[in-house]
Amino acid sequence: MALTLDDDRLTDEGLPASHAGRVLLIACGALAHEILALKTANGWDHLDLQCLPAKLHLYPEKIIPAVEAAVHEHRAAYAGIFVVYADCGTGGLLFEKCKELGVEMVSGPHCYSFFEGNAVFAERAETEFTAFYLTDFLVRQFDAFVWRPMGLDRHPELRDMYFQHYTKLVYQAQTNDPALDAKAQECAARLGLAYERRYTGYGDLTGALAAL
C-alpha cells in the first residue's frame, strides 16, 4: 500500500501513522471469503488480510515456513499480527513457531473444528470418526482440492479403497446457499457417501477475530 506524505509520520512505536492500531491477519487462502465477510459485517476496518496460497492445505509441512516468512516481512508495519490457521496437520509445530515469533493463532486442530466450534467438535469426535468434512470453500473447490489430488480423476476405482471406512459426508455450511447445498450433495454422491448438511456459520472464527 502506498503511503501519503501524512502517512510518512511515525508513531512512538515506529509504525507508519496509517498503520497505528492495525492488525494484519496472515491467513489460509481457503478462509479469505469468510474473513472478508466477517470484516464487512462487523466493520472491522482495522484488520488487514494477507492470504497465503490455499494449496498449502495440501502440504502442511510448507505452512510453517510460509507463515514465518510472512510474519518477518510484515511485522514492522503493524501493531499486531494474528495467524488465521489452526494446527492444520502440522503436529503442533505451527503453534510452537507462532509462540517463538510472538504472534497468536486460531485455536483448534483444523478449520472443521473451529467452524463447528472447538468444544462441540471435540464432543462429536468420539462418535463421528467415520465422517468426511467439507466447508464452503472445499465444496466450491472439490475437484481441485479433493478429487484431483487424490488421483480420482485418473483412477476412479481408488474411491472405494480411500473411503471404505467413511460412512457420510458432512457439509459444514458457512452460508445458506442452495447452489452450494446441491453441489455438496453431488460431492457426497461422487464419493459414495451418505450426505449430511450442518449449518455452522463461522463458528469460533468470529470470536477469534472479534477479540482483535
Summarize pLDDT for 32-79 with one digit per residue, the tens.
Answer: 999 999 999 999 999 999 999 999 989 999 999 999 999 999 999 999
**211, part of any domain:** no
> Is the residue at 46 inside a domain?
yes
Confidence of residue 19 (pLDDT cuts 50, 70, 90): low
State the CATH number of the domain containing residue 93. 3.40.50
Q: Does 169 score more than 60 pLDDT?
A: yes
**Count of domains in the chain?**
2
Is 11 among the domain residues? no
Neighbours of 45 (CB within 10 A): 9
Query: What is d(CA 212, CA 172) in angstroms, rounded to the nearest whole number?
Result: 25
Residue 26 pLDDT > 50, yes or no?
Answer: yes
Closest CA to 175 of 42, 34, 27: 34
C-alpha–C-alpha distance, residues 82 and 24, integer Å: 6
Contact (CB, 8 A) for 202 and 174: yes
Handedness of CA 144, 203, 127, 186 (dihedral sign): negative
- The pLDDT-based confidence of 2 (bands split at 50, 70, 90) is very low
- Domain identity same for 157 and 194: yes
Order of strands, sheet of 131-134, starting from the edge strand that comes earlier in the sequence = 131-134, 168-173, 194-199
Residue 90 within a domain? yes
Q: Region 170-181: what's the mean pLDDT?
A: 98
44 CA to centre of own chain: 18
Q: Which domain holds residue 62?
A: 22-106
Asked if 95 and 131 sit in the same domain, the reply is no
Same domain, 123 and 171: yes
On whether residue 26 sits in a domain, the answer given is yes
Shared domain for 97 and 133, answered yes or no, is no
Of 75, 106, 137, the last residue of a domain is 106
Residue 16 has pLDDT above 60, yes or no: no
Q: Percent of the chain beyond pLDDT 90?
A: 88
The helix (H) or strand (E) run that includes residue 82 is strand 80-84
Q: Is the pLDDT of residue 18 over 60?
A: no
Angstrom distance (rounded) from CA 111 to CA 117: 9
Q: What does the pLDDT read at residue 5?
A: 30
Residue 145's pLDDT band, with cuts at 50, 70 and 90, is very high
Are 162 and 182 part of one and the same domain? yes
User: Residues 72-99: pLDDT tens digits?
Assistant: 999 999 999 999 999 999 999 999 999 9
Entry pTM: 0.88
- Domain end: 71, 106, 141, which one? 106
Mean pLDDT of the chain, nearest integer: 92
User: For residue 89, what pLDDT is reported?
Assistant: 95
For 126, counting Cβ atoms within 10 Å of its Cβ (0-12 exposed, 13-18 middle, 19+ buried), the class is exposed
Same domain, 146 and 94: no
Q: Are residues 98 and 137 in the same domain?
A: no
On the question of pLDDT at 20 being above 70, the answer is no
Indicate whether 159 and 181 sit together in one domain.
yes
DSSP state of 156: G
- Do 67 and 94 touch, CB atoms closer than 8 A? yes
Q: Do the domain assignments include residue 95?
A: yes
Determine, yes or no, domain membership for 3. Answer: no
